[in-house]
Amino acid sequence: MSSKTAKATAVGSSKTTTEITPSPNWSRAMSSGPDARVKITEQYARLVARNAYFWGWPMVNIYNRRLVFDKCPEPGLMNGVLPFAPLNTLSMLHDYIAPDQRWVACPNQDVVYGAGIFALERSPVVVQVPDFGDRFWVYQTVDIRTDSFAQIGKMYGSTPGFYLLVGPTWQGEVPKGITRVFRSKTNTGFVAPRVFQDATPEDKKAVQQVIAGIDLYALDKFDGKPKTHDWTKLPKFKPPTEGESGETKWVFPETFFDQLPEVMNDAPPHPGEEALYAQILAVISAANNNLEIKKAMIDEAQKTDEEVIAPLLQFRNWGIQLPNYWSAVSNPAAFGTDYFARTAVAKSNILVNAPVETKYIYQDLDSKGERLNGANRYTVTFPKEQTPPAYGFWSLTLYDKEHFFVPNELKRYSLGTKNKDLKTGSKGELSIYVQSDPPAEAHRSNWLPAPKDDFSLFIRAYWPKAEVIDGSWTPPAVEKQK
């Protein structure tokens, strides 16, 4: 049958007719989505606003972090404790992250962190990787959707050198000396180096020479020569905003729909998302011409924040359910169109690594399904050779009910590979004592201090082995002691 004409036979007739070839411009006459000129009801605007707020919450979160980083005058430390740098650069800590920071929920004290936000519409950026030797390391690299797009780390066999991150439409020339190029689907994104450091004074000193060679900078500053920094000498800046007990607020219902179109422009639709984009943008357009519709959408965003997103802070409310009330997510930093998992992770522990980089396993409950609370004493006992399977390292971290560290005299917030003084039992088992008061002296090295009220536990397996990725290994129960 010709592509230009088509023959059809009428039912009950032997005659054929030739159809008229569609106009070359017919597609322009067909609406590709909602007509923004059409009057809509408040109820419909609320329906779309609720969905859009949930869907776009992680991206607007990253977008607002970008706005704050863009005001930074030079690489330094926000509030003296967090890496903070102008766009297309980064800053590094030189030790574990401080327990009083509130910018990112669920930090760990196993690695030395770095952080940088890139703006690839301004310039591609060079990621500088030094020689880490046998030390575990990975550079988390995610776009505005918090999806990973670059594979730079020990588990990938990455070599020392220079890696280039480019935007979705960049077509420039790659200079000699660049090891590999990674293309982001969005211009905005986040780079967060993580370098393992054990808890000994010797290693805290040794890591300084290694991290000195970590860097991120615009392509026009690339000369093929490694740049070095003394990250112990950084200026300190006062925070523009800081949370009281929970994470710093990064998404604001009252400005959300003003920011969302720009965010969507930076993150073009995935295949199949075109209708979603058209629907959201049409309703925002209508709201911009109707104050009552705009007020209704903001009100619905506030309700969605409280009723739908806030409960996702608690790990027990979502995730793949594992034995003994543990839970996990199968697609961290690889969310694609899994909007629920993306927003749940963004609310509870944003900026997670890709599955092959880290396995995260969460716990709010004890072996009987009761909320973990410091009024009780607990043990987590790993049988001999059954600690979380990892080629890199593992840890068990305790967080308060807002997912931050709990102040304690030992300044101890996690236990795991980094701790060289953990003691095993007569059968080779490793018991961690989770309680607010000190255990017996013989168990002090294995004590993970808890608050007086609710708390959560969090297992990380960096460079996880197959059995933890596929779920054939799961953690033991959190047992309440009598």
Residue-wise pLDDT for 302-341, tens only, equals: 999 999 999 999 999 999 999 999 999 999 999 999 999 9
More confident residue, 11 or 198: 198
Domain boundary among 237, 256, 277: 237
Residues 222 and 326 grouped into a single domain: no
The answer to the question of residue 434 being in a domain is yes
Q: How many CB atoms lie within 10 A of CB 307?
A: 10
Which bin fits 351, alpha (ψ -120 to 50), beta or left (φ > 0)? Answer: left
pLDDT at position 11 over 80:
no
Distance CA 7, CA 299 (A): 55
The answer to the question of residue 182 being in a domain is yes
Burial 14-28 (b: 16+ CB within 10 A, else e): eeeeeeeeeeeeeee
Distant-in-sequence, close-in-space partners of 460: CB < 8 Å, separation ≥ 6: 108, 110, 358, 359, 360, 388, 394, 395, 397, 416
The answer to the question of residue 295 being in a domain is no
The answer to the question of residue 20 being in a domain is no
Q: What is the CATH number of the domain that holds 163?
A: 2.60.40.1610
Q: What is the CATH number of the domain that holds 424?
A: 2.60.120.600
pLDDT at position 13 over 50:
no
Residues 357 and 444 grouped into a single domain: yes
Taking only the tens place, the pLDDT of each residue in 407-466 is 999 999 999 999 999 999 999 999 999 999 999 999 999 999 999 999 999 999 999 999
Q: With beta carbons less than 8 A apart as the criterion, state whether 410 and 474 touch.
A: no
Domain boundary among 180, 207, 237: 237
Comparing C-alpha atoms, which of 349, 326, 273 is closest to residue 473? 326
Comparing C-alpha atoms, which of 221, 228, 217 is closest to residue 74? 217
More confident residue, 244 or 43: 43
The answer to the question of residue 382 being in a domain is yes
Residue appearing with tokens 């419909």 = 44
Residues 85 and 218 grouped into a single domain: yes
Residues 230 and 125 grouped into a single domain: yes
In the chain, the amino acid numbered 415 is L
The answer to the question of residue 407 being in a domain is yes
Confidence of residue 5 (pLDDT cuts 50, 70, 90): very low
Q: With beta carbons less than 8 A apart as the criterion, state whether 197 and 54 touch.
A: no
> What DSSP line would sit under 302-342, residue for residue?
HHHIIIIIGGGGSGGGSSEE-GGG-EE-S-TT--TT-HHHH
Residues 233 and 321 grouped into a single domain: no
pLDDT at 79 (0 to 100): 86
Phi, psi dihedrals of residue 434, rounded to the nearest 5°: -110, 110
What mean pLDDT do residues 361-368 have? Answer: 98
Query: Would you give the DSSP letter of residue 354?
Result: P
Angstrom CA distances, 273 to 83, 277, 279, stand at: 35, 6, 10
Strand order in the sheet with 414-416: 320-321, 327-328, 358-363, 455-464, 390-400, 414-416
Is residue 31 within a helix (H) or strand (E), and if so which, with residue range? none
Query: Where would I find the beta strands (DSSP E) of 197-237?
Result: 215-218, 236-237
Distance CA 56, CA 78 (A): 26
Residues 218 and 325 grouped into a single domain: no
Angstrom CA distances, 382 to 111, 254, 403, 432, stand at: 23, 47, 24, 8
Distance CA 361, CA 117 (A): 27
Residues 325 and 471 grouped into a single domain: yes
Q: What is the total count of domains within the chain?
A: 2
More confident residue, 9 or 479: 479
Average pLDDT of every residue of the chain: 93
Taking only the tens place, the pLDDT of each residue in 202-225 is 999 999 999 999 999 999 999 999
pLDDT at 77 (0 to 100): 96
What mean pLDDT do residues 289-299 have? Answer: 97
The answer to the question of residue 282 being in a domain is no
Share of the chain above pLDDT 90, in %: 88
The answer to the question of residue 328 being in a domain is yes
Domain boundary among 214, 237, 260: 237
pLDDT at 58 (0 to 100): 98
Share of the chain above pLDDT 70, in %: 92
pLDDT at 47 (0 to 100): 98
Residues 83 and 207 grouped into a single domain: yes
More confident residue, 29 or 135: 135
* β-bridge mates for residue 358, sequence order: 462
pLDDT at position 119 over 50:
yes
Which bin fits 449, alpha (ψ -120 to 50), beta or left (φ > 0)? Answer: beta
Residues 229 and 324 grouped into a single domain: no
Q: Which structural domain, as residue segments, surrounds residue 102?
A: 72-237
